[in-house]
Amino acid sequence: MQTKINVNNLQLYYGDFHALKNVGLSIPEHAITALIGPSGCGKSTFLRTLNRMNDFINGIRIEGSIEISGEDIYSPQMEVEALRKRVGMVFQQANPFPISIYDNVAYGPRLHKIKDKKKLDELVEQSLIGASLWDEVKDLLHKSAMGLSGGQQQRLCIARALAVQPEILLMDESTSALDPISTLKIEELVQELKNQYTIVMVTHNMHQAARVSDQTVFFLNGEVVEAGATEELFSTPVDARTEQYITGRFG
């Protein structure tokens, strides 16, 4: 598998607090990488470094490098807006805008100056198909997104992310607020999406990581303890702390 994201000696400080320590990782293209670890170990912080969402936080300091397709995303030349278009994000709570389903999906493309109605229609349809939501909403496109169920709203957020045609999709516990059936739907969807996108997901649920991902990264106290093929990490972990965590002995 080709490497999409290369992280080298990454350090992140919130003021004096050293939240990510010497993180080195290689994230493969067209695969699902799951980030696991106990609460507070730095999973979300790390995820947010990949599209520079942490830039908004006061007192933050980042050292080391992150390359996406060989480009250093923290270099002064990097255009952060363009980066966020390439690296989409879906959050824990579905957060549709209180506007129509169509306008939610068209929001990103319009922001990027796509105005042509035919092009927008196409993007909306393709994104909703991509997010496995089209069949359920094709007759409701101009109804409010707030009328959808929680699982549908989360798939709408995925469609919204896909509409700007990203290369990478970051998912921060995107199923943790959903019922088991909606969760399964999103897990199946993510398996399909990896053919086109590189996916990095934070999950609290080890079973989900084992079911869905190709590569798993185990974080503890801001460090990567172990990273490797999911099957191997769960069947023959190398580090005793990984074994303790995946067998439920802490965290």
Ligand X SMILES: Nc1ncnc2c1ncn2[C@@H]1O[C@H](COP(=O)(O)OP(=O)(O)OP(=O)(O)O)[C@@H](O)[C@H]1O
Q: Which positions touch ligand X (CB under 6 A)?
A: 14, 17, 19, 37, 39-45, 57, 204
CB of 149 to ligand X, least distance (A): 24
CB of 113 to ligand X, least distance (A): 32
CB of 154 to ligand X, least distance (A): 17
Residue in 64, 91, 57 with CA at minimum distance from that of residue 5: 64
How many alpha carbons fall within 13 Å on the CB side of residue 56?
A: 4
Kindly tell me which of 56 and 139 has the beta carbon lying closer to ligand X.
56
CB of 215 to ligand X, least distance (A): 18
Q: Which two tokens stand for residue 244?
A: 């303790």
Rounded distance between C-alpha atoms, residue 146 and residue 160, angstroms? 14
Q: Pseudo-torsion of CA 85, 167, 35, 66, nearest 10°?
A: -70
Kindly tell me which of 43 and 155 has the beta carbon lying closer to ligand X.
43
Owner of token pair 């990782």: 25
Kindly tell me which of 19 and 131 has the beta carbon lying closer to ligand X.
19
CB of 194 to ligand X, least distance (A): 22
Residue in 167, 85, 80, 161 with CA at minimum distance from that of residue 126: 161
Q: CB 239: neighbour CB atoms within 10 A?
A: 13
Kindly tell me which of 141 and 202 has the beta carbon lying closer to ligand X.
202
CB of 174 to ligand X, least distance (A): 13
129 contact partners, CB below 8 Å, separation of at least 6: none
**Under a CB-based contact definition with an 8 Å cutoff, are residues 37 and 20 in contact?**
no
Kindly tell me which of 41 and 217 has the beta carbon lying closer to ligand X.
41
151: left (phi over 0), alpha (psi -120 to 50) or beta: alpha
**Under a CB-based contact definition with an 8 Å cutoff, are residues 220 and 38 in contact?**
yes
Kindly tell me which of 5 and 41 has the beta carbon lying closer to ligand X.
41
Bridge partner list, 219: 224
Kindly tell me which of 70 and 248 has the beta carbon lying closer to ligand X.
248
CB of 92 to ligand X, least distance (A): 8
